[in-house]
Amino acid sequence: MSRIALVALLLGAPAAGAAQGTTAEMLDRAVHYHAELDVEREVAILRGIVSPNSPFIVTQEQRGLAYKYLGAALVVRGQADSGILYFRAAIERDPFTELEPQKFTPTELAAFGEAKRLTFALGVRPVTPDTIDPRTERLTFTVLSTHAAALRVELRATGASTMLPLYAGDNDGPRELQWDGLLGDGRLAPPGRYELLVTGLSRLNQRGDSARLYFSLEHDHLPLDDTLPTLRSVELLPEQLPPGMARSELLKGFGLATAALLIPRTLGNGDLQGGGPALAAGVAGVVSAAGVAGFIHRQRHREIPGNVAVNARRRAERAAANAAILQRNRERLAETRLVVGPAAGVGP
């Protein structure tokens, strides 16, 4: 018994998938009947589609199309008020709904125009994924008001308080707006999510409406190079001698003086009682003075000029390398392209 139920379930599954196709076929038949002015059959089919009891799945787009044709059919049947109601329902679902003049009669078009006058709605067409070069191309937004209105279109990064106005003024119908990808400060818009906010006030009935469009923006450019880090101390030569070096000068001077004084005592023959101690003392005084002078000089000038010059050259080379990297990065950033895509909201 359970096997029979399973088979029945599997056989029934495609029926649900085919339901949408069935709605599309019904709409096709309705459109065909509308072209042949077979209004009764058309109305019957369309009522079946828009009925809450319809056994088939009906998408929002199909429902809007059904409302449009149902409104037109009712206008043809002489039920203009009912037709206008269906037209308004179609417009409220999709403000971009239009009647093609080559497919509909002037009476239908007039009724549809009346519906647009009675219904105030704002719309913005979703962006399609695209890549633009902001130096030569523009991102196009299409906004719409169903009838004459004071319209304001602004752009901002999600989370930002600053709005970039794209349009402010009267509008009636669709309007294309172009954005060069720059913010108010003249800089390229950073990557992230953006919100296009459309607000308006009807000139006919003073009613207000708004519409939002979210889209994502990414930068596309060649990979940037990292700048080289600042030279570490181990990469630089010591620029100053340690303080002990000054004392060593003193020791060297006194060491030489001691050697001079010891020569007559050690190398000289004691039996001769000579060795020129006065001469040795003279040169000992000179080398001692040189040691003291070296000590003072070293205390006052601890820098190592050769090392200072080498370090300066290394720093200059590093700075030049980083400047070249930054310049290369700037050139790559200047060729940045904007990758635009639809987004669901302010964030995931």
Three-state SS at 259: helix
**Residue 214 neighbours by CB distance under 10 Å:** 17
Looking at 232, 234, 271, 348, which residue binds other proteins (CB under 8 A)?
271
Looking at 290, 304, 319, 325, which residue binds other proteins (CB under 8 A)?
290
Looking at 27, 284, 338, 340, which residue binds other proteins (CB under 8 A)?
284
**Shortest Å, Cβ 309 to other proteins:** 16
d(CA 227, CA 214): 35
Which C-beta is closer to other proteins: that of 4 or that of 278? 278
Give the ranges where the chain is alpha helix by DSSP (H). Answer: 2-35, 39-50, 60-76, 80-93, 106-118, 244-266, 277-300, 305-334
Q: Which of residues 159-178 bind other proteins (CB under 8 A)?
A: none
d(CA 86, CA 166): 33
In the structure encoding, which two tokens stand for residue 93, read together? 């679902």
Residue 291 touches other proteins, criterion: CB under 8 A:
yes
Q: Tell me, residue by residue from 228 to 247, as one string, x for binding to other proteins by CB under 8 A and - for no binding.
A: -----------------xx-
* Alpha carbon 83 to chain centroid, angstroms: 46
DSSP string, 261-298: HHHHHHTS-TTTT-S-HHHHHHHHHHHHHHHHHHHHHH
Which C-beta is closer to other proteins: that of 118 or that of 245? 245
Tell me the number of residues near other proteins by CB under 8 A. 33
DSSP letter at 37 equals T
Residues 6 or more apart whose CB falls under 8 angstroms from that of 58 comprise: 23, 49, 50, 66
Q: Tell me, residue by residue from 33 to 52, as one string, x for binding to other proteins by CB under 8 A and - for no binding.
A: --------------------
Looking at 50, 109, 231, 286, which residue binds other proteins (CB under 8 A)?
286
Residue 276 touches other proteins, criterion: CB under 8 A:
yes
**Shortest Å, Cβ 325 to other proteins:** 40
**Shortest Å, Cβ 275 to other proteins:** 6
Looking at 253, 336, 340, 343, which residue binds other proteins (CB under 8 A)?
253
Residue 309 touches other proteins, criterion: CB under 8 A:
no
DSSP string, 78-111: T-HHHHHHHHHHHHHH-TT----TTTS-HHHHHH
Cβ atoms of 220 and 338 within 8 Å: the answer is: yes
Which C-beta is closer to other proteins: that of 276 or that of 341? 276
Cβ atoms of 164 and 139 within 8 Å: the answer is: no
Residues 6 or more apart whose CB falls under 8 angstroms from that of 316 comprise: none
**Shortest Å, Cβ 263 to other proteins:** 5
Residue 283 touches other proteins, criterion: CB under 8 A:
yes
Q: Which residues bind other proteins (CB under 8 A)?
A: 245-246, 249, 252-253, 256, 259-260, 263-264, 267-269, 271-276, 279-280, 282-284, 286-287, 290-291, 293-295, 297-298
